[in-house]
Structure 1
Amino acid sequence: MTAASADGSPVPRLSVLLCDDNAMLLESLSDVVRAQPDLELVGTACDGEQACELARRHRPDVAVLDVRFPGGGHVVARGIARRSPATRIVAFSAYDDKASVEQMKSAGAAEYVLKGTSNRELLAALRRGAV
């Protein structure tokens, strides 16, 4: 799917899957993604099984994944990768300890963003992570 740039030329849209067990945060992130003309929200997931199924069905360009997702963010990241190998993972966490970062990076996370960062920084990481 494409969007139009300011000059009217087509801009490819990145498809995004959001995964977090905090419903309020998921709703807020959804609003942020929907407001971006170059992003397309293809789904939201509040558990690992749902995240993996949505990744299989929609094959998003990028999935933003809670590091402390029930069942383990690293486990879900690997499940998404099995079902949609081209999907890039952006780890999203309240924790920046070395073990959490390394665990997600070893599971394939392209970016690691702390919760509470500005929407601008999160969107930049999402776009970098999708490349």
Structure 2
Amino acid sequence: MNAPRQVRVVIADDDALIRDALRAVLNAEPDLEVVAAAGDTAEAIALVEQREPDVAVLDLRMAGGGGVAAAREIRRRVPAVRLVALSAYSDTASQEAMALTGVDAYLVKGVPNTHIVSTVRRLAAPS
């Protein structure tokens, strides 16, 4: 019997505590693996390009341009990666800015961990 395919995830958030918490939540799932974590926009773009994850979870506000710049450049360089915006901002303008970059989902920080996990799984599932 084949083991389930590992969903590879890159996390990008400028807050180390959030990066560590997300890593712990996602790595606790048998089918998810955090393959890299970035602290700013440039690092996020580079790590996604190098590691080619299935899903990248991007903070909206990071040094170097934030999630909008990261999503735009990742979409250009690695079009197959699915993108999740995870932000403290729930306003329409922030959500629309990320939507225009082609993010696949927008989650507001504070959602239950089960919602983050299910969103990553849903986006990584073959269409």
Q: Using structure 1 for the length normalisation, give the TM-score.
A: 0.89
Query: Percent identity over the alignment?
Result: 43
Q: CA–CA distance in 1 between the matches of 2:103 and 2:123?
A: 8
Question: Aligned Cα RMSD in Å?
Answer: 1.2
Pick the structure with greater CA Rg: 1
Q: Which residue of 1 aligns with 2:57?
A: 64
Match of 2:118 among 107, 124, 128: 124
Moved over 3 A (4+): none
State how 1:1-131 maps to structure 2 within 5 Å. Answer: 9-70=2-63, 71-131=65-125
Q: Contact between 2:40 and 2:66, CA under 8 Å: does it hold in 1?
A: no
1:125 CA drift (Å): 1.4
Amino acid at match of 2:83: I
Q: For residues 25 and 93 of structure 1, what CA distance do their matches in structure 2 show? A: 11
| Cα deviation, residue 129, structure 1 | 2.5
Whole-angstrom CA distance in 1 between matches of 2:99 and 2:12:
17
TM-superposed CA distance for 1:130, in Å, is: 2.6
Partner amino acid, structure 2, of 1:78: R
Larger strand fraction of residues: 1
Question: TM-score of the superposition, structure 2-length normalised?
Answer: 0.92
Gaps of 5+ in 2: none
Shift of 1:111: 0.6
Cα offset, 1:40, TM superposition:
1.3
Query: How far apart in 2 are the matches of 1:72 and 1:44?
Result: 15
Deviation at 1:97, TM superposition (A): 0.7
How many positions carry a matched residue from both structures?
124
Q: Which amino acid aligns with 1:81?
A: R
